[in-house]
Structure 1
Amino acid sequence: MKDGVSGMDTLHQRLLKYSTKDERHRGLYKNLSNKVIANYPDGTQKVIFNTTEPHLVENEMADLIDWANQQFKLNEIHPLVIIGLFIYEFLSIHPFQDGNGRLSRLLTNLLLLKNDYQFIQYVSFENLIEQKKKLYYEALMDGQKNRYLDAELINSWILFFLDALVTLIHRLELKYDVFKSKGGYLNDRQKKIKEFIEKNQPIKLNDLLQALPDITIHTLKKDLQYMKTEQVIESIGKNRGTVYIIKFED
């Protein structure tokens, strides 16, 4: 967000770079009023809410970006809440003629990465929103129905947004469990160690040194410790009497 409004224009332009139907308004704030319309899998449509009028967009976007930058610097509100609030306001303003939903997901990913939530690059926020489209629109509409009024509450949206992130984290954990079960998280050297232990267990450190002479004792100790931490192997005994075996699932 540090590039401000010009940065937002650039993101929109790049997002729709290969969309010929959006060529005329690519990277430009809207000049016609638009509405948020929900498209459901059964083909039905529903108007969710009316958005900010074109002549107000530039000022509202500038205010929103300034607010977000200031909040990130102050560090008084949790960054996930700031991101959720920013996305809600962005969607409410709907600053571009088209592509606002897609851009909001891109902005979500960028802001999460900027705030060190690196997990988002391994999962699809876009895909999750598509799967939860009905709940997504309902959460937005719950606040939008009272836009600009004191009764405008966005609790439902913030809870939806945070719940979506929790769901994505759970999905990533499941992916990791599958990856881990296949041994894909071990490098080639560690796979050799695992294979040797499987065939010859229980084994001692000296057994590994003799079987794998190209690996130093320092590296072997580090690998064994890592494999213990990842629960690939377990050790029995202490000091020179320590032996290693494959850890079986309970």
Structure 2
Amino acid sequence: METKLTLDFKTSQAIIRKVGFVDSFKGKWRGLGGSESIYLKELKQIATIESIGSSTRIEGATMTNDEVKDFIRSIKITSFKSRDEQEVFGYYEVLSLILESYRNIPLTENNIHQLHKLLLKESSKDSHHRGNYKKLSNKVVANYPGGHQKVIFATTSPHLVAVEMTALVDWTSRNLAEGELHPLIVIATVSSQTDLV
């Protein structure tokens, strides 16, 4: 993990500027007082929709952000017409839970398994590994018009996932607790480990 944080000077400075820019919003949000403003609620909704759309498209879903937004508005649906809807519903539930309760969800492998179980609870194709680490190899593939495919990256082999997840959770918890690295740097480093999925 530490090697991922070894950057040249110019890149380090660019990251520091961007992190500083994000940090400047902390004071502005705190200045809004205890109640959420309409702008913060709108930003949360946009971030949720874009996150769900991007994450499910990596898994092969085809719903656009507008389709995700429309689907979320009618989320009281009890049966789903497609696998895309199953996955979007799962992501929506997990993101909602995290946004509401993140302070009460410590970073542990058990909680990761529980969130994974919730994420896939409506996904019929994923019942075999719901709430567990993967047992089969997979790749993230981009599908292009005309049927052309390109492997974006190959993921971690199933037999290595448990060991690497333990290391990832330990590294993340330690670095967030120590406070030596900015939390955004820690989060970005963890996010770059998507090959564990």
TM-score by length of 1: 0.35
**Bigger CA radius of gyration:** 1
| Larger RCO: 1 or 2 (CA < 8 Å, sep 6+) | 2
TM-score by length of 2: 0.44
